A and B are shown apart, each in its own frame.
Chain A
Amino acid sequence: MNEWTLTELDLEYISLGAAILGTGGGGDVYSGKLRAWQQMRAGRRIRIISPDALQDDDLVISVGGIGAPTVGFEKFERGDECYRAMRAIEKAVGKNAVALMTDEIGGGNAIEPMIAAALADLPVVDVDGMGRAFPELQMNTFFIYGMLPSPCALCDEKGNTIVYTEAVSPLWMERLARASTIAMGCTAGMALPPITGKQIKAWGVKYTISQSWRLGEAVIRARAEKRDSVAAILKHEHGKLLFRGKVVDVKRWTTGGFARGKLEIDGFSDFQRRSLQIEFQNENLIASVDGIVVATAPDLICIVDSETGRPISTEETRYGLRIAVLGLPATPLFRTTEALAVVGPRAFGYDLDYQPLGDYVMPEPKVKP
């Protein structure tokens, strides 16, 4: 089986690309990158394999951090939370995992499985369940298409492990995990129910680690060569430049634990005298130009610095920032009726139909089977 062993520079690219795919949310990638570097410096390896190399009955476990990002900045990981959660699932199902994966490539959780995998000396699969970031567990392709919601495992830094043997729905799993996370001090590592090689091949959003790498590499190279980094992103992503302009207004409010808000952007260069509005709930969800909707979730609405291509989170947007807004088509797996019921505009409370942004082009894999 071919493997792609990551270097520190690869991680730099992947974390930048993952932050762009975070579409304004997804959490910080800096601490994850540092922790992954620590693993490499301790002599451990982070290896990536192709989803196409998996056998149908192979066991793969998806792990990631859960909790409040603000708390994570203060009380960050002991380091083996996700690793222990993975082991707990193996024990619960009586089978060893052949690899790990992330269910959310956008933001910090792109890196968490790599750290657990380095500790377990297992590879990470070049795949995820979103191709972006979303705020809740049930919003990934695996749950949408019928992966059972249990068993799941939750581990804190103190050594506590909870295994949820039965949950009646992904939504219940999400609810139970949140409640336990708070008791654990608002940060924990979580392992999702076992996923088979067959499920990954059918339901996985493929080659998204490769995609992050290419995105990050393109931006960093464009910067070094003093070229337009936004154009460099678009060249790789088959996406659309929705807008370039200056943020002129930001409104925020918090409901149900989510940071919601609205951005208004006045256009410049090709977009002069036009105005773009973006609605966000942790992630950017709806974009409209002069009142006409131009992109909605689950398509990706990514905001980057107009000059440097640096991804800009919904938390840091403020008046005066010069930004480019990119629309990237979502995976076809998110464009079906059953998926749109979970991740479409109506699932987030907007009375809108989803209008696909264009054709999805599968990313080029960096590692073949």
Chain B
Amino acid sequence: MYQIGIDVGGTNTDAAILTGHEIIGWHKHVTTPDVTSGIVGALSGALLSTNIDRVSIDAVMIGTTHFTNAIVQRRDLSRVAVLRLCGPATHSLTPMVDWPPDLREIVDGYTVLLDGGSEFDGRPITPFNKSSVREACRRARDLGLVSVAVSSVFSPVNAEHELLAAEIIRSEIPGAAVSLSHEIGRLGMLQRENAAIMNACLHDIGKKTIAAFRQSMVDLGLQCPLYLAQNDGTLMSAHFAEKFPVFTFASGPTNSMRGAAFLSGLRDAIVVDIGGTTTDVGALTNGFPREASVEVQVGGVRTNFRMPDIFSFGLGGGSLVTGVGTTLQIGPISVGYDLATRGRVFGGDVLTTTDIVVASGRAELGEKSLVADLSQAFIDDTLAFMQKRVEDAIDQMKLSRDPAPVILVGGGSILINEQLAGTSHVERPLHYHVANAVGAAIAQISGEVDRVVSLSEISRDEALSVAKQEAWDKAIAAGADASTIKIVDVEDIPLAYLPSAATRIRVKVAGDLKL
């Protein structure tokens, strides 16, 4: 049984081939503007590094920044019709109100506020109104819109109105692509609606990109299923990804953290991933990245996705080193993938962090004699500076004041040594330089429930077990192997100012992909 993980990063596209817990082949290829040719390059390179039969590959998992970039660069986006089911509530802030005007201009096809929506306890705000939804659909159809986002107040508590609307949309708009907010985001109406609209505007590019991925696999003679990595470190099928391209956002840092956990065998640790341009530091709890508590912006839009809590700063193998003593500065400017031509040890004229590490004798790359002019004191100062910045970042991400284990991954991790303050031990596992691709290859399938429950009708224990069962069912429906499903996260937060004992329940389960 073989699987191939691919991670499309800003600088490199990495591929790793795994069988069970063993990495048997890998390849790094420069990321290309079209993404797909970089993927093909990495895939074929990895396949060449082994001599396994392509027919025996069981699955390909891709982590890609393609859809995030489409939003950030406002490229190939579909126009969207937005139906909000809210009754009289929420009229003060209409859909896309907090979007950057240029993005809104491209995406906003038609927005309308209709009857429906729920209270926190599931009661309807106003009854669902079929004819008004039908009328809105006809209007959208006349405007030539096929991609429709639907958001209903408290749909994570009661999704009925969104589902009823979806039925009408499909019957009124031939070939409609429907994004329902309860399937995409969690509590927090505007942010969930934003996520649903972003998903809807990625409809065309989603279909095209997934088709291109499939075609590259066909070209390489791979006949196995294709999966895409999601931002929470789990997988979705290519078919599912066509409907939910938005779930690929921020899968990169997640993959490297999950890969670090896998390669080191640690489930609770700080992960330091040093690439060509930046260092990402995150915390693993129970094998999964800790999630950010603050809102995350994508292309200027506030969302409440399940994003990993990452502290990122400009230190990488290509970072420029300037000044000396008190004026010493490292990064954030980096030569990125030009390191191999512009770095001093490679015959270039730019002093980078990699040159310093080679000069110190800690790594062997390029031509050491080209940096023989650097003084030992300067080398020591620069190494200490980088070490200190990483130590400070680790300290910020730690979960308690106790020394924490640290996993170093990424090609740039040669910049620092294992003697890091505030750590219990530091590990740089084998294959640390392709941890992100490994993370994609081992990604699991998850199921999640997030809702507010009124405890006047149901006990807390009952509510929790109902939520667990639903999360479980969702994971199995998404392709998880039932025998491997474990609960990853259970949260039960009593709500302030609600004497009627309402509580917000979040349950997440994950299991291995059923191959």
Contacts and interface: CB of A to CB of B under 8 A. Distances in A.
Interface core residue of B126, B293, B395, B499 (most chain A CB under 10 Å):
B499
A34 B98 contact: yes
B497 A75 contact: no
Interface in B456-501: 494-500
A38 B88 contact: no
A237 interface: no
Nearest to A246: B395
A155 to B, nearest CB: 11
A319 B400 contact: yes
A320 B395 contact: yes
A68 B119 contact: no
A235 B119 CA distance: 45
A249 B502 CA distance: 27
B92 A38 contact: yes
Contacts of A217: none
Interface in B180-201: 187-190
A99 B91 CA distance: 25
A75 B88 contact: no
A73 B98 CA distance: 14
Given A70-B452, A186-B119, A257-B496, A76 B400 contact: no
A116 to B, nearest CB: 11
B154 interface: yes
A67 B497 contact: yes
B396 A320 contact: yes
Contact of A158 (B90, B120, B125, B293): B125
Contacts of B117: 75
B154 A75 contact: yes
A145 interface: no
A70 B504 contact: yes
Interface in B105-126: 117, 119-120, 123, 125-126
Nearest to B118: A75
B294 interface: yes
Interface in B45-104: 86-93, 97-98
A151 to B, nearest CB: 23
Interface size class of A (residues with CB under 8 A): 35 or more
A363 interface: no
Nearest to B399: A319
Contact of A74 (B154, B400, B496): B154
B92 A78 contact: yes
Contacts of A77: 89-92
Contacts of A320: 395-398
B88 A74 contact: no
B153 interface: yes
A321 B399 CA distance: 11
Interface size class of B (residues with CB under 8 A): 35 or more
B496 A316 contact: no
Nearest to A256: B499
A71 B92 contact: no
B401 interface: yes
Given A75-B117, A75-B120, A68 B497 contact: yes
A185 B498 CA distance: 10
B89 A182 contact: no
Given A178-B497, A282-B496, A249 B88 contact: no
A94 interface: no
A259 B503 CA distance: 13
B90 A249 contact: no
Interface string A244-262: 0010110000100111000
Contact of A31 (B93, B120, B401, B498): B93
Nearest to B191: A73
Nearest to B123: A185
A75 B400 contact: no
A76 B90 contact: yes
A254 B187 contact: no
A157 interface: yes
A35 B92 contact: yes
Given A70-B452, A178-B499, A254-B494, A78 B396 contact: no
Contact of A38 (B93, B188, B497): B93
A75 B401 contact: no
A79 interface: yes
Contacts of B126: 158
A223 B140 CA distance: 45
B1 to A, nearest CB: 40
Contacts of B153: 74-75
Interface in B11-69: none
A318 B309 CA distance: 12
Contacts of A249: 400-401
Contact of B88 (A34, A67, A159): A159
B497 A257 contact: yes
A128 interface: no
A69 interface: yes
Can you list the 3 inter-chain pairs with the closest CB atoms, starting with the nearest? A79-B92, A185-B119, A68-B497
Given A185-B89, A318-B293, 15 more contacts: A70-B498, A70-B504, A71-B120, A75-B154, A75-B189, A77-B91, A157-B89, A178-B499, A186-B120, A186-B498, A248-B400, A248-B401, A319-B401, A320-B395, A322-B396
Interface of A: 31, 34-35, 38, 67-71, 73-79, 115, 157-159, 178-179, 182, 185-186, 246, 248-249, 254, 257-259, 266, 282, 316, 318-322
7 contacts: A75-B86, A186-B119, A186-B120, A186-B497, A254-B494, A257-B498, A321-B396
Interface of B: 86-93, 97-98, 117, 119-120, 123, 125-126, 153-154, 187-190, 293-294, 395-401, 452, 494-500, 502, 504
